Amino acid sequence: MHKDKCLAIIPARGGSKRIPRKNIKLFLGKPIIQYSIDVAQSANLFNEIMVSTEDKEIAAVAESCGAVVPFFRSEQTSNDYATIGDVIEEVILEYKNRGCEFKYFCCILATAPFVTANRLTQTFDLLKKTGADSVVPVTRFSYPIQRALKIEDEKLKMFWPENYSKRSQDLTPAYHDCGQFFWMRVDSFLEQKTVFAKNTIPFEIPETEVQDIDTLEDWKIAEFKYKIIHNI
């Protein structure tokens, strides 16, 4: 195993604003980052499972769960404006400077308790089979975005009024990133510096396996949904 030289990168900045200490907050009794580390381990795909953080407490929790924190983030990738691409580039180049190069990486978010080893394997196989630059899990919007509404001058209006009379089934389905993980070839990332590369393949995941966790209300919904999925 691990013949493919794969790196798991789990970004976990300490300065989360909407949910303080979000990445190590207990989710049904365990630090939420532990779910990401555990699934990466159980997938048995990775040469290394690393957590990218600037926070000593997060690093200690990550290491106690079995991940490694071989270096801390720079100031540039620790602020509110650093992108996920900035973080990944720093990680890959730092490993390269240390004489360790990878062919593929999988970025698994620290707040992604619904990811399964099977999904990681399926998407990795798809990346290799298709020769894609990246594979991004997506889920379909539950309502047609072409009929989205806005409030303007305290009045309700459609963004695209021309779609008012169109049947929902005649509108093109729209999708969004699941916000859980994605795979990419290292060389493609270093060349294009974007997750949504020229040759990005989608992998559709049902909405039942997806939950954004940006607010405390989201957190409660995610715990409720997790209990139902796992019969606990």
Note down pLDDT in tens along the chain; length 232 residues. Answer: 456 799 999 999 997 778 889 999 999 999 999 999 999 999 999 999 999 999 999 999 999 999 999 999 998 998 888 899 999 999 999 999 999 999 999 999 999 999 999 999 999 999 999 999 999 999 999 999 999 999 999 999 999 999 999 998 899 999 999 999 999 999 999 999 998 999 999 999 999 999 999 999 999 999 999 999 999 8
- pLDDT of 17 reads 76
DSSP 68: B
pTM (two decimals): 0.93
> Distance between CA 97 and CA 77 in Å, rounded?
17
Query: Of the candidates 70, 76, 108, which has an alpha carbon nearest to the alpha carbon of residue 89?
Result: 76
Q: What is the DSSP letter of 87?
A: H
Domain ranges, ordered by start, for the chain = 6-139+175-227
| CA separation for the pair 158, 173 (Å, rounded) | 18
3-class DSSP state of 71? coil
**Helix, coil or strand: residue 166:** coil
**Measured in Å, how far apart are the chain's first and last C-alpha atoms?**
32
| Confidence at residue 114, expressed as pLDDT on a 0 to 100 scale | 97
Predicted confidence (pLDDT) per residue in 40-93, tens digit: 999 999 999 999 999 999 999 999 999 999 999 998 998 888 899 999 999 999
Long-range contacts at 115-119 (CB < 8 A, ≥ 24 apart): 115/35, 115/36, 115/39, 115/180, 115/181, 116/39, 116/209, 117/39, 117/42, 117/43, 117/44, 119/181, 119/203, 119/205, 119/209
pLDDT at 80: 85
User: Which two three-digit tokens encode residue 5?
Assistant: 């030289």
Task: Indicate the average pLDDT of the chain.
Answer: 95
What's the confidence (pLDDT) of residue 130?
A: 97
pLDDT of residue 3: 62
Check if the beta carbon of residue 153 is closer than 8 Å to that of residue 102: no
Please state which CATH class domain 6-139+175-227 belongs to: alpha beta
Radius of gyration of the chain (CA): 19
pLDDT of 18 reads: 82
